[in-house]
Amino acid sequence: MGISRYAYKGKRRFDISTFDTEDTGEFTSRDQSVDEFVENLLVINKKQQKLYSERKEGVIFVFQAMDAAGKDGVIRTVFSTLSPHGVKEFCFKVPSAEEKSHDFLWRFWSALPPRGFISIFNRSYYEDVLVGKVHEFYKSDIVPDRMKDSDVIQDRYRQIKDFERYLYETGTRVIKIFLNVSKDEQARRFISRIDTPRKNWKVSSGDLREREYWDAYMEAFETMVNETSTPESPWYVVPADHKWFARLLVSRIVRKTLEEIDPQYPPLDEATKSSLQEYRAKLIDSLGEKGYREQEKQPKEYSDPSLIPAEMLQQELLQKQAESDEKLKENGFKAVRKLLAENYMIRSLNDIMDAIAETPAEEKEEAEEEGEEDDESTRSPAEIREHIKEIVEDNEKETDNA
Protein backbone atom coordinates (compact mmCIF):
# COMPACT_ATOMS: atom_id res chain seq x y z
CA MET A 1 0.00 0.00 0.00
CA GLY A 2 1.15 3.50 -0.73
CA ILE A 3 1.46 6.70 1.17
CA SER A 4 -1.09 8.79 -0.69
CA ARG A 5 -3.68 8.58 2.05
CA TYR A 6 -1.22 10.25 4.41
CA ALA A 7 -0.20 12.93 1.90
CA TYR A 8 -1.47 16.50 1.81
CA LYS A 9 -0.62 18.40 -1.34
CA GLY A 10 -2.85 21.40 -1.05
CA LYS A 11 -6.15 20.03 -2.32
CA ARG A 12 -7.47 17.71 0.37
CA ARG A 13 -8.19 19.26 3.77
CA PHE A 14 -6.51 17.80 6.82
CA ASP A 15 -8.91 17.34 9.72
CA ILE A 16 -6.96 16.48 12.84
CA SER A 17 -10.06 15.61 14.85
CA THR A 18 -10.87 12.60 12.67
CA PHE A 19 -7.27 11.44 12.14
CA ASP A 20 -6.56 7.97 13.54
CA THR A 21 -3.21 8.17 15.35
CA GLU A 22 -3.37 4.41 16.04
CA ASP A 23 -3.64 3.52 12.37
CA THR A 24 -1.31 0.72 11.26
CA GLY A 25 -2.37 0.58 7.61
CA GLU A 26 -2.66 -2.90 6.19
CA PHE A 27 -0.67 -4.47 9.04
CA THR A 28 -1.90 -5.96 12.25
CA SER A 29 1.54 -6.42 13.77
CA ARG A 30 5.05 -5.13 13.46
CA ASP A 31 6.37 -8.50 12.31
CA GLN A 32 4.45 -8.25 9.07
CA SER A 33 6.14 -4.95 8.24
CA VAL A 34 9.74 -6.01 8.74
CA ASP A 35 10.51 -7.23 5.23
CA GLU A 36 9.18 -4.10 3.66
CA PHE A 37 11.03 -1.92 6.14
CA VAL A 38 14.33 -3.62 5.35
CA GLU A 39 13.71 -3.37 1.64
CA ASN A 40 12.91 0.33 1.93
CA LEU A 41 16.13 0.98 3.84
CA LEU A 42 18.17 -0.86 1.23
CA VAL A 43 16.53 1.07 -1.61
CA ILE A 44 17.04 4.35 0.24
CA ASN A 45 20.70 3.48 0.66
CA LYS A 46 21.20 2.79 -3.04
CA LYS A 47 19.29 5.87 -4.17
CA GLN A 48 21.26 8.10 -1.83
CA GLN A 49 24.52 6.94 -3.40
CA LYS A 50 23.17 7.98 -6.78
CA LEU A 51 21.78 11.26 -5.45
CA TYR A 52 25.21 12.04 -4.05
CA SER A 53 27.07 11.05 -7.21
CA GLU A 54 24.73 13.02 -9.44
CA ARG A 55 24.83 16.27 -7.39
CA LYS A 56 21.71 17.53 -9.12
CA GLU A 57 19.14 17.99 -6.40
CA GLY A 58 19.16 18.61 -2.64
CA VAL A 59 16.47 17.27 -0.34
CA ILE A 60 15.20 18.44 3.03
CA PHE A 61 13.11 16.20 5.24
CA VAL A 62 11.36 18.33 7.85
CA PHE A 63 10.11 16.65 11.02
CA GLN A 64 7.55 18.25 13.30
CA ALA A 65 5.72 16.70 16.21
CA MET A 66 4.61 17.06 19.79
CA ASP A 67 7.16 15.91 22.35
CA ALA A 68 7.63 12.14 22.68
CA ALA A 69 6.03 11.48 19.30
CA GLY A 70 9.16 9.59 18.28
CA LYS A 71 10.98 12.05 16.00
CA ASP A 72 14.40 11.03 17.14
CA GLY A 73 13.71 7.30 16.85
CA VAL A 74 12.29 7.69 13.35
CA ILE A 75 15.29 9.71 12.23
CA ARG A 76 17.72 7.26 13.83
CA THR A 77 16.23 4.20 12.21
CA VAL A 78 15.07 5.38 8.80
CA PHE A 79 18.25 7.27 7.96
CA SER A 80 20.55 4.70 9.52
CA THR A 81 21.65 3.14 6.25
CA LEU A 82 22.58 6.45 4.67
CA SER A 83 26.20 7.26 4.12
CA PRO A 84 27.13 10.01 6.61
CA HIS A 85 28.94 12.06 3.99
CA GLY A 86 25.70 12.91 2.19
CA VAL A 87 23.36 13.58 5.07
CA LYS A 88 23.23 16.00 7.97
CA GLU A 89 20.73 16.45 10.77
CA PHE A 90 19.93 19.88 12.19
CA CYS A 91 18.08 20.19 15.51
CA PHE A 92 16.42 23.55 15.84
CA LYS A 93 15.86 24.68 19.40
CA VAL A 94 14.66 27.90 20.99
CA PRO A 95 16.31 30.62 18.89
CA SER A 96 19.41 32.26 20.35
CA ALA A 97 19.61 36.02 20.90
CA GLU A 98 21.47 36.36 17.62
CA GLU A 99 18.91 34.26 15.75
CA LYS A 100 16.08 36.27 17.27
CA SER A 101 17.64 39.46 16.02
CA HIS A 102 17.05 38.27 12.44
CA ASP A 103 13.97 37.34 10.41
CA PHE A 104 12.57 33.92 11.32
CA LEU A 105 13.96 32.13 8.23
CA TRP A 106 17.49 33.44 8.64
CA ARG A 107 18.87 30.55 10.67
CA PHE A 108 17.77 27.96 8.12
CA TRP A 109 19.78 29.19 5.17
CA SER A 110 23.03 27.75 6.49
CA ALA A 111 21.36 24.37 6.93
CA LEU A 112 20.19 24.07 3.32
CA PRO A 113 21.71 21.03 1.61
CA PRO A 114 24.12 21.40 -1.29
CA ARG A 115 22.93 19.51 -4.39
CA GLY A 116 23.21 15.79 -3.84
CA PHE A 117 22.87 16.13 -0.08
CA ILE A 118 20.04 15.43 2.33
CA SER A 119 19.31 17.73 5.27
CA ILE A 120 17.15 16.46 8.08
CA PHE A 121 15.39 19.25 9.94
CA ASN A 122 14.55 17.99 13.41
CA ARG A 123 12.08 20.86 14.03
CA SER A 124 12.22 23.81 11.69
CA TYR A 125 10.74 27.19 10.76
CA TYR A 126 7.37 25.54 11.33
CA GLU A 127 8.00 26.10 15.04
CA ASP A 128 7.29 29.74 14.28
CA VAL A 129 3.70 28.85 13.34
CA LEU A 130 3.38 26.21 16.10
CA VAL A 131 4.94 27.13 19.44
CA GLY A 132 5.25 30.70 18.16
CA LYS A 133 1.55 30.82 17.39
CA VAL A 134 0.38 29.05 20.54
CA HIS A 135 2.35 31.38 22.81
CA GLU A 136 2.15 34.46 20.57
CA PHE A 137 5.90 35.03 20.89
CA TYR A 138 5.80 37.41 17.92
CA LYS A 139 3.95 39.94 20.03
CA SER A 140 7.12 40.78 21.91
CA ASP A 141 9.21 41.23 18.73
CA ILE A 142 10.42 44.74 18.08
CA VAL A 143 9.43 45.43 14.47
CA PRO A 144 8.96 48.35 12.08
CA ASP A 145 5.63 50.13 12.18
CA ARG A 146 4.45 48.65 8.90
CA MET A 147 4.47 45.19 10.47
CA LYS A 148 2.44 46.15 13.49
CA ASP A 149 -0.99 45.73 11.90
CA SER A 150 -0.18 42.63 9.89
CA ASP A 151 -1.43 39.17 10.71
CA VAL A 152 1.98 37.75 11.54
CA ILE A 153 1.08 34.06 11.51
CA GLN A 154 -0.94 34.29 8.31
CA ASP A 155 1.97 36.12 6.70
CA ARG A 156 4.37 33.42 7.85
CA TYR A 157 2.37 30.67 6.13
CA ARG A 158 2.71 32.58 2.89
CA GLN A 159 6.38 33.38 3.51
CA ILE A 160 7.11 29.71 4.22
CA LYS A 161 5.33 28.66 1.04
CA ASP A 162 7.26 31.24 -0.93
CA PHE A 163 10.51 30.06 0.65
CA GLU A 164 9.82 26.41 -0.16
CA ARG A 165 8.74 27.30 -3.67
CA TYR A 166 11.93 29.26 -4.15
CA LEU A 167 13.93 26.27 -2.94
CA TYR A 168 12.07 23.88 -5.24
CA GLU A 169 12.60 26.14 -8.23
CA THR A 170 16.30 26.43 -7.48
CA GLY A 171 17.05 22.75 -6.92
CA THR A 172 16.02 21.79 -3.39
CA ARG A 173 13.00 19.71 -2.54
CA VAL A 174 11.32 20.10 0.86
CA ILE A 175 9.30 17.16 2.19
CA LYS A 176 7.47 17.69 5.46
CA ILE A 177 6.51 15.01 7.95
CA PHE A 178 4.23 15.52 10.93
CA LEU A 179 4.33 12.65 13.40
CA ASN A 180 0.89 12.76 14.90
CA VAL A 181 0.75 11.14 18.34
CA SER A 182 -2.33 11.08 20.56
CA LYS A 183 -2.52 12.84 23.89
CA ASP A 184 -2.96 9.52 25.71
CA GLU A 185 0.03 7.92 24.03
CA GLN A 186 2.13 10.96 24.89
CA ALA A 187 1.05 10.56 28.53
CA ARG A 188 2.11 6.88 28.48
CA ARG A 189 5.51 7.77 27.04
CA PHE A 190 6.06 10.54 29.58
CA ILE A 191 5.14 8.15 32.42
CA SER A 192 7.60 5.61 31.10
CA ARG A 193 10.29 8.30 30.95
CA ILE A 194 9.57 9.27 34.55
CA ASP A 195 9.52 5.66 35.77
CA THR A 196 12.67 4.50 33.99
CA PRO A 197 15.90 6.00 35.36
CA ARG A 198 17.78 5.71 32.08
CA LYS A 199 15.03 7.66 30.34
CA ASN A 200 14.81 10.38 32.98
CA TRP A 201 17.10 12.72 31.06
CA LYS A 202 14.44 12.98 28.36
CA VAL A 203 11.78 14.44 30.60
CA SER A 204 11.57 18.15 31.09
CA SER A 205 8.98 20.05 33.03
CA GLY A 206 8.70 22.28 29.97
CA ASP A 207 7.43 19.33 27.90
CA LEU A 208 4.85 18.57 30.57
CA ARG A 209 3.73 22.19 30.67
CA GLU A 210 3.29 22.32 26.88
CA ARG A 211 0.82 19.43 27.21
CA GLU A 212 -1.60 21.84 28.82
CA TYR A 213 -1.78 23.69 25.49
CA TRP A 214 -2.64 20.48 23.63
CA ASP A 215 -5.77 21.76 21.91
CA ALA A 216 -4.09 24.96 20.78
CA TYR A 217 -1.23 22.89 19.35
CA MET A 218 -3.63 20.59 17.50
CA GLU A 219 -5.32 23.60 15.95
CA ALA A 220 -1.91 24.99 14.98
CA PHE A 221 -0.80 21.69 13.40
CA GLU A 222 -4.03 21.38 11.46
CA THR A 223 -3.85 24.93 10.11
CA MET A 224 -0.14 24.55 9.35
CA VAL A 225 -0.81 21.50 7.17
CA ASN A 226 -3.74 23.14 5.42
CA GLU A 227 -1.95 26.42 4.80
CA THR A 228 1.43 25.14 3.65
CA SER A 229 0.81 21.92 1.70
CA THR A 230 1.69 22.14 -1.97
CA PRO A 231 2.23 19.54 -4.71
CA GLU A 232 5.99 20.23 -4.67
CA SER A 233 6.31 20.40 -0.89
CA PRO A 234 3.67 18.11 0.54
CA TRP A 235 2.96 17.41 4.17
CA TYR A 236 2.72 13.77 5.25
CA VAL A 237 0.76 13.22 8.43
CA VAL A 238 2.04 10.01 9.98
CA PRO A 239 0.06 8.15 12.67
CA ALA A 240 2.60 7.89 15.48
CA ASP A 241 1.01 5.91 18.31
CA HIS A 242 2.79 2.79 17.04
CA LYS A 243 6.45 3.56 16.63
CA TRP A 244 7.07 0.71 14.22
CA PHE A 245 4.34 1.91 11.87
CA ALA A 246 5.56 5.51 11.96
CA ARG A 247 9.04 4.27 11.07
CA LEU A 248 7.73 2.12 8.27
CA LEU A 249 5.67 4.92 6.79
CA VAL A 250 8.54 7.40 6.97
CA SER A 251 10.78 4.84 5.25
CA ARG A 252 8.15 4.69 2.49
CA ILE A 253 8.02 8.46 2.21
CA VAL A 254 11.81 8.78 1.99
CA ARG A 255 11.99 5.93 -0.50
CA LYS A 256 9.26 7.40 -2.68
CA THR A 257 10.82 10.85 -2.61
CA LEU A 258 14.16 9.48 -3.77
CA GLU A 259 12.48 7.30 -6.38
CA GLU A 260 10.67 10.33 -7.75
CA ILE A 261 13.93 12.24 -8.00
CA ASP A 262 15.29 9.14 -9.73
CA PRO A 263 18.97 10.04 -9.47
CA GLN A 264 21.45 8.39 -11.85
CA TYR A 265 25.18 7.88 -11.71
CA PRO A 266 26.58 10.58 -13.97
CA PRO A 267 27.65 9.16 -17.33
CA LEU A 268 31.26 9.68 -18.39
CA ASP A 269 31.93 11.63 -21.55
CA GLU A 270 33.81 9.92 -24.35
CA ALA A 271 37.09 11.78 -23.69
CA THR A 272 37.11 10.73 -20.00
CA LYS A 273 36.20 7.19 -20.92
CA SER A 274 39.10 6.85 -23.29
CA SER A 275 41.55 8.49 -20.89
CA LEU A 276 40.45 6.02 -18.23
CA GLN A 277 41.20 3.20 -20.65
CA GLU A 278 44.69 4.62 -21.10
CA TYR A 279 45.21 4.73 -17.36
CA ARG A 280 43.90 1.23 -17.09
CA ALA A 281 46.48 -0.03 -19.57
CA LYS A 282 49.22 1.73 -17.59
CA LEU A 283 48.04 0.20 -14.34
CA ILE A 284 48.05 -3.27 -15.86
CA ASP A 285 51.55 -2.63 -17.20
CA SER A 286 52.68 -1.59 -13.75
CA LEU A 287 51.59 -4.95 -12.41
CA GLY A 288 54.02 -6.59 -14.84
CA GLU A 289 54.20 -10.34 -14.73
CA LYS A 290 51.92 -10.60 -11.73
CA GLY A 291 49.14 -9.60 -14.04
CA TYR A 292 45.70 -8.33 -13.05
CA ARG A 293 43.40 -11.33 -13.19
CA GLU A 294 45.52 -13.40 -10.82
CA GLN A 295 45.53 -10.49 -8.41
CA GLU A 296 41.80 -10.76 -8.01
CA LYS A 297 40.94 -12.48 -4.81
CA GLN A 298 39.06 -15.66 -5.42
CA PRO A 299 36.42 -16.14 -2.77
CA LYS A 300 37.43 -18.96 -0.48
CA GLU A 301 35.29 -22.03 -0.47
CA TYR A 302 32.69 -22.09 2.26
CA SER A 303 33.85 -25.52 3.26
CA ASP A 304 37.45 -24.44 3.91
CA PRO A 305 38.16 -26.03 7.31
CA SER A 306 40.81 -23.46 8.15
CA LEU A 307 38.15 -20.78 8.39
CA ILE A 308 36.42 -20.23 11.68
CA PRO A 309 32.65 -20.25 11.42
CA ALA A 310 32.31 -16.48 11.62
CA GLU A 311 34.58 -16.10 8.65
CA MET A 312 32.75 -18.85 6.88
CA LEU A 313 29.49 -17.06 7.41
CA GLN A 314 30.99 -13.78 6.35
CA GLN A 315 32.31 -15.45 3.26
CA GLU A 316 28.91 -16.85 2.64
CA LEU A 317 27.36 -13.43 2.99
CA LEU A 318 29.90 -11.82 0.70
CA GLN A 319 29.27 -14.40 -1.94
CA LYS A 320 25.58 -14.05 -1.59
CA GLN A 321 25.76 -10.30 -1.68
CA ALA A 322 27.20 -10.65 -5.13
CA GLU A 323 24.30 -12.78 -6.25
CA SER A 324 20.89 -11.47 -7.13
CA ASP A 325 18.45 -10.28 -4.51
CA GLU A 326 16.17 -13.18 -5.35
CA LYS A 327 18.91 -15.62 -4.48
CA LEU A 328 19.64 -13.80 -1.26
CA LYS A 329 16.08 -14.39 -0.21
CA GLU A 330 16.26 -18.08 -0.88
CA ASN A 331 19.57 -18.48 0.86
CA GLY A 332 18.66 -17.16 4.22
CA PHE A 333 20.83 -14.07 4.11
CA LYS A 334 17.57 -12.25 4.42
CA ALA A 335 17.07 -14.06 7.70
CA VAL A 336 20.10 -12.30 9.12
CA ARG A 337 18.95 -8.91 7.88
CA LYS A 338 15.51 -9.62 9.19
CA LEU A 339 16.88 -10.58 12.55
CA LEU A 340 18.53 -7.21 12.94
CA ALA A 341 15.70 -5.30 11.34
CA GLU A 342 13.17 -6.89 13.63
CA ASN A 343 14.88 -5.02 16.36
CA TYR A 344 14.99 -1.97 14.16
CA MET A 345 18.68 -1.74 14.83
CA ILE A 346 19.64 -2.26 11.21
CA ARG A 347 22.55 -0.31 9.90
CA SER A 348 24.48 -1.11 6.78
CA LEU A 349 25.27 -4.51 5.38
CA ASN A 350 28.88 -3.94 6.33
CA ASP A 351 27.92 -3.38 9.95
CA ILE A 352 25.99 -6.59 9.98
CA MET A 353 28.91 -8.49 8.58
CA ASP A 354 31.29 -6.83 11.00
CA ALA A 355 29.02 -7.82 13.85
CA ILE A 356 28.97 -11.37 12.64
CA ALA A 357 32.73 -11.46 12.21
CA GLU A 358 33.55 -9.83 15.52
CA THR A 359 31.24 -11.56 17.87
CA PRO A 360 32.73 -15.01 18.01
CA ALA A 361 36.27 -13.59 18.13
CA GLU A 362 35.40 -11.48 21.14
CA GLU A 363 33.78 -14.41 22.76
CA LYS A 364 36.80 -16.51 22.13
CA GLU A 365 38.98 -13.99 23.94
CA GLU A 366 36.63 -13.94 26.86
CA ALA A 367 36.54 -17.70 26.98
CA GLU A 368 40.32 -17.89 26.87
CA GLU A 369 40.56 -15.43 29.73
CA GLU A 370 38.24 -17.59 31.73
CA GLY A 371 40.27 -20.63 30.79
CA GLU A 372 37.35 -22.25 29.01
CA GLU A 373 37.76 -24.53 26.08
CA ASP A 374 35.59 -23.06 23.37
CA ASP A 375 35.70 -25.05 20.21
CA GLU A 376 34.92 -22.35 17.67
CA SER A 377 35.12 -24.68 14.77
CA THR A 378 32.00 -26.48 15.91
CA ARG A 379 29.82 -23.41 16.01
CA SER A 380 27.28 -23.38 13.23
CA PRO A 381 26.04 -20.32 11.36
CA ALA A 382 22.67 -20.91 12.99
CA GLU A 383 24.27 -20.66 16.41
CA ILE A 384 26.05 -17.49 15.40
CA ARG A 385 22.77 -16.00 14.23
CA GLU A 386 21.19 -16.96 17.53
CA HIS A 387 24.04 -15.27 19.30
CA ILE A 388 23.60 -12.05 17.31
CA LYS A 389 19.96 -12.10 18.14
CA GLU A 390 20.81 -12.16 21.83
CA ILE A 391 23.21 -9.25 21.44
CA VAL A 392 20.65 -7.21 19.57
CA GLU A 393 18.01 -7.97 22.15
CA ASP A 394 20.32 -6.94 24.97
CA ASN A 395 21.12 -3.83 23.03
CA GLU A 396 17.47 -3.02 22.60
CA LYS A 397 16.84 -3.39 26.29
CA GLU A 398 19.57 -0.81 26.84
CA THR A 399 18.42 1.60 24.17
CA ASP A 400 15.29 3.62 24.37
CA ASN A 401 13.53 3.67 21.06
CA ALA A 402 11.60 6.83 21.71
Binding site for ligand ATP (CB under 6 A): 67, 72, 91-95, 122-123, 127-128, 131-132, 137
Query: 270: burial class by Cβ within 10 Å (0-12, 13-18, 19+)?
Result: exposed
- Rounded CA-CA distance 78/249 in Å is 10
Q: How many CB atoms lie within 10 A of CB 27?
A: 17
Q: How far is the CB of 153 from ligand ATP (least distance, A)?
A: 13
Q: Which residue is nearest to Mg ion (CB)?
A: 67
- Determine the residue type at 31: D
Per partner kind, with CB cut-offs from 5 to 8 A, the member of Mg ion, ligand ATP, none near residue 146 is none
Dist. CA 367–CA 311, nearest whole Å: 19
Residue 76 binds which entry of ligand ATP, Mg ion, none, CB below 5-8 Å type-dependent: none
Beta carbon nearer to Mg ion, 211 or 389: 211
From the list Mg ion, ligand ATP, none, which binds 164 (C-beta under 5 to 8 Å, kind-based)?
none
Q: Which of 160, 150, 133, 312 is nearest to 218 (CA)?
A: 133
Choose the one of Mg ion, ligand ATP, none that binds residue 70, judging by a C-beta under 5 to 8 angstroms depending on kind: none
Minimum CB distance to Mg ion smaller for 67 or for 311: 67
Q: Is the dihedral of CA 101, 105, 106, 108 positive or negative?
A: positive
Report how far residue 1's alpha carbon sits from residue 248's, in angstroms, rounded to the nearest whole number: 12
Whose Cβ is closer to ligand ATP: residue 46's or residue 135's? Answer: 135
- Encode 180-205: b = buried (16+ Cβ within 10 Å), e = exposed: bbbeebbeebbeebeeeeeeeebbee
* CB neighbours of residue 79 within 10 Å: 21
Tell me the Ramachandran region of residue 56: left when phi exceeds 0, alpha when psi lies from -120 to 50, beta otherwise: alpha
Is the CB of 34 or the CB of 65 nearer to ligand ATP? 65
Q: Which of ligand ATP, Mg ion, none has residue 72 at its interface (CB below 5 to 8 Å by kind)?
A: ligand ATP
Nearer to ligand ATP, 120 or 341 (CB): 120
Measured from the CB of residue 246, what is the shortest distance to ligand ATP in angstroms? 15
Candidates 61-69, 150-158, 211-219, 291-299; binding stretch for Mg ion (CB under 5 A): 61-69
CA distance 163 to 157: 10
Report the nearest approach of ligand ATP to the CB of residue 395 (Å).
20
Q: Among ligand ATP, Mg ion, none, what binds residue 123 when CB lies within 5 to 8 Å by partner kind?
A: ligand ATP
Q: Which of residues 218-257 bind Mg ion (CB under 5 A)?
A: none
Bridge-based pairing state of the strands 58-65 and 118-122: parallel
Q: CB of residue 124 vs ligand ATP: minimum separation in angstroms? A: 8
Closer to Mg ion by CB, 66 or 341: give it. Answer: 66
Residues 62-101: x/- map of binding to Mg ion (CB under 5 A)?
Answer: -----x----------------------------------
- The H or E element spanning position 173 is strand 172-180
What's the closest the beta carbon of residue 137 comes to Mg ion, in angstroms?
A: 17
CB of 68 to Mg ion, least distance (A): 8
Q: CB-wise, 23 or 67, nearer to Mg ion? A: 67
The answer to whether 16 and 236 have CB atoms below 8 angstroms apart is no
Binding residues (CB under 5 A) for Mg ion: these are: 67
